[in-house]
Each structure stands twice: as structure tokens, then as C-alpha cells.
Amino acid sequence: MASRPIGTGNISFGLVSIPVKLFSATRSRSVSFNLLHKKDQSRIQQKIYCPVDDAIIDRSELVRGFEIEKGRYVTFTDEELKNLEARNEHAIEITEFLPLEQVDPVYFEESFYLGAEPSAAKAYRLLADAMRQSGRVALGRYTMRGKEHLVLIRPYGKGLMLHTVYYADEVRPAEDVNQAENEAVKEAELTLAKRLIDELTGKEFDPSKYHDHYRERVLQLAQQKVAGQEVTEPAPEPRRGQVIDLMSALKASLEKRGATASEAQSTSESKAAPARSPRSSRPSSERRRAGGRK
């Protein structure tokens, strides 16, 4: 089934104008559940309840309120909100071009394919090829349903993709999170960690290798229930303990990957281990033979 556009837009930069269609690029496949009445398996309904009047009220009695402080609201009518909406509907105004690596993925929100309109196919192709060859993406504004969005347009596949982007004040500061910046890392540990990263490095991004195992288990169990099969609970997976010896954990990880950590091990031991006596450095077999001589 062909994809249906969820909206339209008009890309503009300078005096160039390119009409496009927007198509959803992603969809959530997460499982969801409905709340049922246990007694008769009927789906419940949610009512709008007023705790002050202790009564169920109709939607026609509702107004929109904006909380200016805890427990205090100012109300808006639909007409007032309509007057606040942006007027330049469907406009996608490019304000600047920049390298994609300058935009951190934390700012990406939703993704949409941009489809070419037949009347502007050449202009669409020109913009897509120019951005791809120059290694640039476009940042701009998109007005949809009366609201202005910050967006990023980038080459994708053979065409273009649009991402809605969070505003700066919508991204929480990373400094609010403990990032262990004062924790010292030993050179030997860093060497083993980088080797393990090399062992786990793939050649390309292949998301088809990964699956939502929770969703698969839910669907399998649902089919078993439909077929009347006995439902069994899988044994819980053993919980991993806290890593105490970082070096040992890194070495074990490398060995599990079929690699050897002998070079890094000898380097770290030569730095950390005290000098051995000549007698203790001899192999145990030689010491036994020497001990047996008269």
C-alpha cells in the first residue's frame, strides 16, 4: 500500500521555492494494552471528573487553562489561541546550512520523508544533490497547524528527510547529571577498553539485526492463550553483579570475543609487579629437580 502524505510544505531559501509532501518516516511497534473490567472483560470508559463538585462533567463545560504558578491559572478561549497561531501555514523557511555533525542527535524529535511534487521535481532534485555533494544540512522553520517548529532537512536515500528539532531550552543540561568526570582512568584499562571497542566495531549500521524481544514474547504468549495452551513463565535471567575488578572484566570480555590480552597484560604486570628473586623466577619443574639433587 502506497504511503499517504500527512501534510504539505513549501521549502524556501533565497528566491527558490519547492513544494513538497510530508510522509511519516517512523512508526512505533510497541505493544499496548487496553484496560478491561475483570468481571465481564468489557473495555472501560474514562470520564471527566470535577473533584470540587464531586461530579462527572461534560466536555462542553471545559476551558483551557495555563498554570502560571502552583494552583493558579489563566484561561484562554479557542478564538484567543487561534489569533496567536502563525499565519504562514505550510512554510518551510531555510535559515542556514551547516555540517550534520554540528547537530547532536539529542535535538532530533520526529522524522518525515519529504516527497517531491511533480511540478517542482527538478528543483527538489537540485536541492537534494547540492546538499549531498556539499555535505550540508539545512536548518529552518516549519509552520504546521498554526505552530512554528524548528526543523532540520538532510539528504536521505535518494531524496530528503525533515526532522523536527527541540529548541535549546527543551534540552536539559548534561551538567545536571553525574558524568564521573573526576574519575581517574589507568592507561592499561584504557588500552583494553579501546581494544574491546575495536572487537565490537561493525562495518555499517544494520538495525535489522535487532528485535524487540519483549514484543515478540507478548505476541507469542497471546497466541498461546488464544490456542488454549498452558502458559508458563520463563526462568528469570541471572542478575549481573557489580563490576569490582575493571581490568579483569575487560580481559574476560576480550577473551570471550576470541581475542588475547597478553600484550596489555604483560605491560600492566611489568609496571605493577615487584621484582622476583632468582629462585622464585625459576619454573616450578626446575625447582623440583634442583631440590632432588644431592
Number of domains in the chain: 1
Residue 106 lies in a domain: yes
Residue 21 lies in a domain: yes
Residue 204 lies in a domain: no
Residue 99 lies in a domain: yes
Residue 124 lies in a domain: yes
- Here the CATH number for the domain that contains residue 17 is 2.40.290.10
DSSP-assigned beta bridge partners for residue 74: 66
Residue 192 lies in a domain: no
Residue 125 lies in a domain: yes
Give the integer Cα–Cα distance in Å for 127 and 196.
41
Give the integer Cα–Cα distance in Å for 250 and 193.
7
The residue whose grid cell reads 462542553 is 60
For residue 90, what are the domain limits? Answer: 7-26+86-170
pLDDT in tens, the chain (294 residues): 467 899 999 999 888 899 999 999 998 889 999 999 888 888 998 899 999 999 999 999 999 999 999 999 999 999 999 998 888 888 999 999 999 999 999 999 999 999 999 999 999 999 999 999 999 999 999 988 888 999 999 999 999 999 999 999 999 999 999 999 899 999 999 999 999 999 999 888 888 888 889 898 888 888 888 888 766 666 666 666 555 566 777 777 778 777 554 555 555 555 555 544 444 444 444 444 444 444
Residue 67 lies in a domain: no
Give the SS3 label for residue 50: strand
Give the integer Cα–Cα distance in Å for 151 and 110.
9
Q: Name which of 220, 228, 22, 235 is nearest 112 in CA terms.
A: 22
Q: Tell me how crowded residue 11 is: count the other CB atoms within 10 A of its CB.
A: 24
